[in-house]
Structure 1
């Protein structure tokens, strides 16, 4: 009987995952195991594309610039980050019921990705066609549609990942995805930096957004080719009733409750980012090249750190959360100390991209750590419930944080960074107490 030789794709998969002998497929079935190499790279490529799309339509940078160009009210600009982040999380507790009824869930991700394509393309069209308050409100409307569509992808992705990729390989996959995405982000940052020498206008940023939108459409076509076998389903119950029943998890499941508290505290890494940009604008200026420098710094951080964090997360995702929270908090306190006690460095251009680079490393650790942890905590529909409940609660917390950001003008930017750093310290302590799940 002839021995089947591995394909080049399987060889590459085995190399990337240190598979020397028989392939290990912990927590997935034999059928899914045979399809793992193909699914691994389909997931990697599709998520690489959407990650680049996220960067090129980032509300903290590109969308803020676009809304400024079309003279949208500042009040509306202040809402885009909370809406973009929380809108994708808040509905998840209620839509998870309908996703659970589907034995094959990859098409939920495909639908969400297509809808995100339409929403981001809509923003590009609005930027070219409208100005002032009308443009601002239409962009907000498109962003709401984008965020809700993103919620579909968030639930479906974690479930498909858990059904198609073995334990001990998931963190590494996310690490490679973030690393390759970081390389593409680096290229995009260099391109924006190069174009900033010219007198770029709204056309350039609109076409940048159109390109970002197309990435979600391409990703949907790729993701549709994943070989996903039917999994657990539940049905029949009212979605809202089930949603409230899922909230009981917080009361009854101490492990899950502690994870949600930890994740809430670890939001410090995401919430701190805009304040580093504000510091740079205050002390260095608002020249266009700063946008490119921040994007480049974040891209390099992903390239360097994501594979390392991913490999560490496959061994202990809770330690990854702890270490990255410590890094976030330490950076914040150091930057605040420099601003307060070393004023001669405040106007140095290099200070803020370097700080953003370190923060990018820390944020990658937080993201990879908590995503790997929740996927490995449970299997089947329990995983879907965990993701839906935690994301919905985090969505509410983000909205509250977004409202509080309007009060940030009452205290100094440095004060906000210091407060978030303290939360990072608490997050590190809390994550260290979580049990291991790998």
Structure 2
């Protein structure tokens, strides 16, 4: 629980859709580079998983690998923060140091994700996992909301660009470091027997319900091409620059408050319901972005915080619950690797935005979210439903 609180605090300082996108926009980066920022974190953390799953499955205590990777993840983010302090006069070089640091962090995170989920699967009962992640998001989101005040204050300091952002990245690195350290202290029970599962495409794909889940997950990750461009649209089209801290605050507050609702819905109706709700709200967000007046654009980030929280808790919990205990690494590793390969969709969104404007990725995202909502109705209900 403590790990989640500090990781979400770190996420506030490294928020891909708001902080990183606005940072890249102010650096003058092309839209495809802006889309690359969150893609590096998401894809890098997922793609290696299918390749290391056999190794992780044979480890009697998975959290050991998590501890080792934590040091490398901290170092990679340290590069990002340090670059902001020492390359203030070389913004062209700073951009690529920034990209390299994020890429390394995403790659090392790929070696940490499976040990994380395996440890969760071994220590938290199925019926309590949705509650765990909702509670993590609730308190962690509250910390991120408070961090939004700090982000707004730092970005308004009379300091030359990029030093305010360098301060944010340094604070985020410290928060991540403590959160990863705390998770490494978990007393994970060793496996009773060494697992020798092999990764085979036919193993999870023989599961009809896994194939249905993967289809929905792919649609959701394709729809995510729009996520970093709400902030870029606000900066470049609407001329909003000082409002970035405000947008982060309403985004995190929405995530916090919505989790109060998501935990109740998940316990009563299961994690599938969160996937459906997130897809429905995600389809609505681009419509609001294109129709709201400039003064009300903050409502887009309210909606974004709510539906990303719903999708995040819903898909993660659903996959862990769907996977058989003796093949959990196969299911999680294969699913995350396939999704990770498609997590570069924001780059495609950026190329589309360069061609036809920001309306392009917004329209495509609306279609993908709506399609995911339609397909998600046929997902298997895994968790029990409380009686009325």
Note the C-alpha offset of 1:137. 2.5
Q: Of residues 45, 51, 56 in structure 2, which corresponds to 1:94?
A: 51
Higher mean alpha-carbon deviation, 423-432 vs 274-283, is at 274-283
Query: What's 2:365 paired with?
Result: 420
1:263-342 to 2 correspondence within 5 Å? Answer: 263-267=217-221, 270-287=224-241, 289-315=242-268, 316-336=270-290, 338=291
- Shift of the 258–68 alpha-carbon distance from structure 1 to 2, 3 Å rule, reads closer
8 Å contact from structure 1 (residues 82, 398) kept in 2: yes
Does the alignment pair 1:229 with 2:189? yes
Q: How does 1:114-133 map to 2 (within 5 A)?
A: 114-130=71-87, 131-133=90-92
The 3-state SS of whatever aligns with 2:15 is coil
In structure 2, the CA distance between the partners of 1:416 and 1:144, relative to structure 1 (3 Å rule), is closer
Call closer, same or farther: CA 1:378–1:176 in 2, change over 3 Å: same
Change in CA separation of 1:56 and 1:92 when aligned onto 2, cut-off 3 Å = same
- 1:291-334 per-residue CA deviation (whole Å, 9 max, x = no partner) reads 10111011111210123213322441111111221122133334
Q: In 2, Cα distance between the equivalents of 1:56 and 1:233?
A: 40
Q: Which residue of 1 aligns with 2:68?
A: 111
- Confirm or deny that 1:52 pairs with 2:9: yes
Q: Deviations over 1:198-232 (max 9, x none)?
A: 32333332122122112222123322321211125
Alignment of 1:389 onto 2:349: no
Query: Which stretch of the first structure deviates more once superposed, 255-264 or 312-321?
Result: 312-321
Question: Which runs of structure 2 are paired with 1:206-245 in the superposition (5 Å)?
Answer: 206-231=166-191, 233-235=194-196, 242-243=198-199, 245=200
Is 1:347 paired with 2:294? yes
> 1 CA distance for matches of 2:315 and 2:223?
12
Deviations along 1:406-431, whole A, 9 cap, x unmatched? 13222232242122112111111111
Q: What is residue 159 of structure 2 aligned with on the other side?
A: 200
Q: Which residue matches 1:171? A: 130
Higher relative contact order (CA 8 A, sep 6+): 2
Give 1:78 shift: 4.8
Q: Once superposed, what is the RMSD of the aligned Cα atoms? A: 2.4
2: distance between equivalents of 1:354 and 1:304? 14
**1:325-345 deviation digits (Å, cap 9, x = unpaired):** 112213333444x2xxxxxx5
Q: What is the CA distance between 1:163 and its match in structure 2?
A: 0.7
Deviation at 1:74, TM superposition (A): 7.3
- 2: CA distance, partners of 1:127 / 1:195: 14
Question: CA distance change for structure 1 residues 46 and 422 in 2, over 3 Å: closer, same or farther?
Answer: same
Please tell me whether Structure 1 or Structure 2 has the larger radius of gyration of its CA atoms.
1
Q: Distance in 2 between matches of 1:122 and 1:230?
A: 35
Structure 1 stretches of 4+ moved >4 Å: 64-78
How far did 1:282 drift? 4.3
Stretches of structure 1 that go unaligned for 5 or more consecutive residues are: 1-43, 339-344
- Classify 1:132/1:71 alpha carbon distance in 2 versus 1 (closer, same or farther; 3 Å): farther
For residues 203 and 402 of structure 1, the distance between their equivalents in structure 2, rounded to whole angstroms, comes to 26
* Contact in 2 for aligned 1:49/1:181 (Cα 8 Å): yes
Q: Distance in 1 between matches of 2:229 and 2:24?
A: 19
Per the TM alignment, residue 67 of structure 1 is displaced from its structure 2 partner at its CA by: 5.1
* Contact 2:142/2:252 (8 A) holds in 1: yes
The answer as to whether partners of 1:313 and 1:368 remain within 8 angstroms in 2 is no
Distance 1:319 1:72 in 2: 38
SS of the residue aligned with 1:87?
Answer: helix
Residue 109 of structure 1 aligns to a residue whose secondary structure is helix
Unaligned runs of 5+ in 2: 384-388
Q: Residues 46 and 336 of structure 2 are in contact (CA less than 8 Å); yes or no, is this contact kept in structure 1?
A: yes
